[in-house]
Chain A
Amino acid sequence: MPKSNFMIIMGLLLLFAGAVIFGLSHGSAHIPWQELFLEKNRAIIYVRLLRIILACAAGSGLSVCGIVLQAVLRNALADPYLLGTSSGASLGAVTALALGFNVLYMPVAAFCGAALAVLIVYFVANERGRLYAHSLILAGVIVSIAFSGIVVFTVSISPNEALYGLMWWLWGSLEVYNVQVLSLVCAVVAIATAIIFIFYQDLNAISLGEERARYLGVNIELSKKILLILASLVTASLVCVCGVIGFVGLIVPHTVRLLCGANHRRLIPLSCLLGSVFMIFCDTLGRVLFAPVQVPIGVTTAIVGAPIFIILFKKRQKRL
């Protein structure tokens, strides 16, 4: 039985406030929380605030994309990168680097690569206007492997400097390079999340089965297309600014489902909140642990996320 929603929401809000204070005060230079608003700290706080904003965008965006893919593909293990966005973005970025483009163009190149990968996946999976879950998963895997192969090939024939630029695509980073790109990505995530929320009934019905959703009056082919396009757009935009951050899109929705059920009306907003908390926490941890060296965010999310997930999963097995 779902626990009291009020308690869960209050708990998450408290956690969120705690994570923001933790994120602002910790880093290579520690600022006590009483001094957060002092004039002399303004520059550091500004940089950290930007990272927190990106953490919220990435945490919410990846969680919501995970929710969409898990419901539409009716596969609890679906990940936002399943449809080829990550390998597509890596290919775009690597190609741009190998061709000698300025690093500034990497987000654009990555977005194009991600979009190309997703388009190929949809083209391959499309069966006379219908997208079947198993075809999408298979097409996503094929395209991911093919694109990764090309990435490895490109890296192996190009000079070594390109390799370093690739590192953060593979493991993710919340470093903010360009405030305008950040605002654009935040807008994409916010608008897409709002539209996805409008489809919460469809998501609920689809997770009970495609045929059943039709019998409940849901126009599933149209809903699925809109939802998948939005999810791909969000993942592609996020990959451009922060690379590939694994585990978030999988673990956050699962945790929220275990705590308060699968109803998307609760699942979507609560996952945004928990996703933000989780990302801020992991990012700050990555900055503090081996300061001044930063641990890539993908590493922290995996190391922090996996044990939490295993504990929750084991608890659920006992209950059933």
Chain B
Amino acid sequence: MSLILSLENISAGYPGNDRVIKGISFGVDKGSFTGIIGPNGCGKSTLVRLIGRVVKPSAGNIKLMGKEIVQFGAKEFSRIVGIVSQEEADFPFTVKEAVLMGRIPHLKRLEFEKDADFNIADNVLKLTDTFHLRDKFLSELSSGERQRVMTAMALAQEPQLLILDEPTSHLDIGHGMQILDLLKKLNREKGITIIVVLHDLNLTAEYCDRIIFIDNGCIFKDGGPFDVLTYENIEAVYKTVVVVKENPVTKKPYLFPIPGDLCKRV
């Protein structure tokens, strides 16, 4: 399989904290489903912003399909990579207008959307189960609906690589799994490469073929769910005791948290 994305020895930071990412290297196969996990402040979101060219690396190269990402034009890049961020959007746009903005990378300045663009918008609205919301304002949506609409917007870009930064963070388990089911479907049926930053380790285990475990700006572990989600690894990074068992239906690892007071007694 060929690599769609590769990071080579990437370091990056912000003013006042210039070592958020410390020499990370990894490649992402085309058509794969990768999860990124790690404690708060470990650099997961910075990694997304590095790939999205919002933050410039202080060292190292990021390549998209073999070409350095800085060499892509702004719209050219957005036709390949779609990123769903967690920013609040409070201006009164309708769902349909927002999703049509996903077509900006395919439009020239002043070029109005054509029938083809409207069809694509309708398709991604149906795909994300938000078609019935198309005339509502963004502010009228629940957080689950808004997350689906923002995913639809990124899908309207027709990306080959879709990156989501904590898409399930404000969602209940039903809506969270709805998003991840959608990503799985896109991955299987359309061959879109998925990278998803997640907090919920059990959901990560269920959906991701590969998990990159980040701790303190470095890759702590990188591999399949059973390799990465061991009780030793979890305890080393999160300082929390868990018991790992197999989900009887999916045969994926499942983590049972053990409260702190119980650990002391044992």
Residues of A that sit less than 8 Å from B by CB = 1-2, 71, 76, 198-201, 204-205, 207-212, 214-219, 257-258, 261-263, 265, 320
- Contact check, B85 vs A212: say whether CB atoms are below 8 A apart: yes
The reply on B251 being an interface residue by CB < 8 A is: no
Chain B residues with CB under 8 A of A216: 78, 101-102, 104-105, 157
The reply on B83 being an interface residue by CB < 8 A is: yes
A255 to chain B, nearest CB (A): 12
The reply on B246 being an interface residue by CB < 8 A is: no
- Contact check, A262 vs B85: say whether CB atoms are below 8 A apart: no
- Contact check, B77 vs A217: say whether CB atoms are below 8 A apart: yes
Chain B, residue nearest A207 (CB): B91
A214-B54, A215-B78, A216-B104 given; A2·B139 CB < 8 A: no
Chain A, residue nearest B93 (CB): A262
The reply on B135 being an interface residue by CB < 8 A is: yes
Pull 21 A–B residue pairs with CB atoms less than 8 Å apart, ordered by A.
Answer: A1-B135, A1-B137, A201-B107, A201-B109, A207-B91, A207-B93, A208-B87, A209-B87, A209-B88, A210-B87, A212-B85, A215-B81, A215-B85, A216-B105, A217-B74, A217-B104, A218-B74, A219-B74, A257-B92, A262-B97, A263-B93
- Contact check, B75 vs A217: say whether CB atoms are below 8 A apart: yes
Closest 8 CB pairs of A and B: A217-B78, A209-B87, A217-B75, A217-B105, A262-B91, A215-B83, A207-B91, A208-B89
The reply on B110 being an interface residue by CB < 8 A is: yes
- Option from A200, A201, A204, A210 in Cβ contact (under 8 Å) with B93: A204
B81 to chain A, nearest CB (A): 8
The reply on B148 being an interface residue by CB < 8 A is: no
A198 to B54, CA, bound (A): 24
- Contact check, A204 vs B101: say whether CB atoms are below 8 A apart: yes
Chain B, residue nearest A197 (CB): B110
- Contact check, A215 vs B104: say whether CB atoms are below 8 A apart: no
Of residues 105 to 150 in B, which have CB atoms within 8 Å of A's CB atoms?
A: 105, 107, 109-110, 112, 135-137, 139-140
A1 to B139, CA, bound (A): 12
A320 to B74, CA, bound (A): 36
A208-B101, A262-B93 given; A320·B139 CB < 8 A: yes
A217-B78, A217-B104 given; A211·B93 CB < 8 A: no
The reply on B82 being an interface residue by CB < 8 A is: yes
- Contact check, A198 vs B92: say whether CB atoms are below 8 A apart: no
- Contact check, A320 vs B140: say whether CB atoms are below 8 A apart: yes
Chain B residues with CB under 8 A of A210: 87
The reply on B49 being an interface residue by CB < 8 A is: yes
Chain A residues with CB under 8 A of B75: 217
- Contact check, B93 vs A208: say whether CB atoms are below 8 A apart: yes
A218 to B103, CA, bound (A): 12
A257 to chain B, nearest CB (A): 6
Chain B, residue nearest A316 (CB): B92
A61 to chain B, nearest CB (A): 21
A312 to chain B, nearest CB (A): 12
A208 to B83, CA, bound (A): 13
- Contact check, A212 vs B137: say whether CB atoms are below 8 A apart: no
Chain A residues with CB under 8 A of B102: 216
The reply on B44 being an interface residue by CB < 8 A is: no
- Option from A2, A200, A207, A214 in Cβ contact (under 8 Å) with B52: A214
- Option from A71, A217, A219, A261 in Cβ contact (under 8 Å) with B79: A217
A1-B135, A320-B139 given; A211·B52 CB < 8 A: yes
- Option from A1, A207, A209, A215 in Cβ contact (under 8 Å) with B94: A1
- Option from A199, A209, A215, A261 in Cβ contact (under 8 Å) with B137: A261
Known pairs A200-B110, A261-B137, A265-B112. 9 more at Cβ < 8 A?
A: A1-B137, A201-B107, A204-B97, A208-B87, A209-B88, A210-B87, A217-B74, A261-B94, A263-B97
A214-B52, A215-B52 given; A2·B94 CB < 8 A: yes
A309 to chain B, nearest CB (A): 16
Chain A, residue nearest B52 (CB): A215
Chain B, residue nearest A215 (CB): B83
- Option from A201, A209, A218, A261 in Cβ contact (under 8 Å) with B85: A209
- Contact check, A198 vs B109: say whether CB atoms are below 8 A apart: yes
B31 to chain A, nearest CB (A): 21
Chain B, residue nearest A127 (CB): B15
Of residues 41 to 93 in B, which have CB atoms within 8 Å of A's CB atoms?
A: 49, 52-54, 74-79, 81-83, 85, 87-93
B1 to chain A, nearest CB (A): 25
- Contact check, A211 vs B85: say whether CB atoms are below 8 A apart: yes
Task: Kindly name the residue among B52, B78, B87 whose own CB sees the greatest number of chain A CB atoms within 10 A.
Answer: B87
Task: Kindly name the residue among B77, B92, B139 whose own CB sees the greatest number of chain A CB atoms within 10 A.
Answer: B92
A198-B109, A215-B82, A217-B104 given; A209·B89 CB < 8 A: yes
A261 to B135, CA, bound (A): 11
A120 to B166, CA, bound (A): 40
B168 to chain A, nearest CB (A): 18
Chain A, residue nearest B87 (CB): A209
- Option from A1, A207, A215 in Cβ contact (under 8 Å) with B154: A215
A268 to chain B, nearest CB (A): 12
- Option from A211, A218, A261 in Cβ contact (under 8 Å) with B92: A261
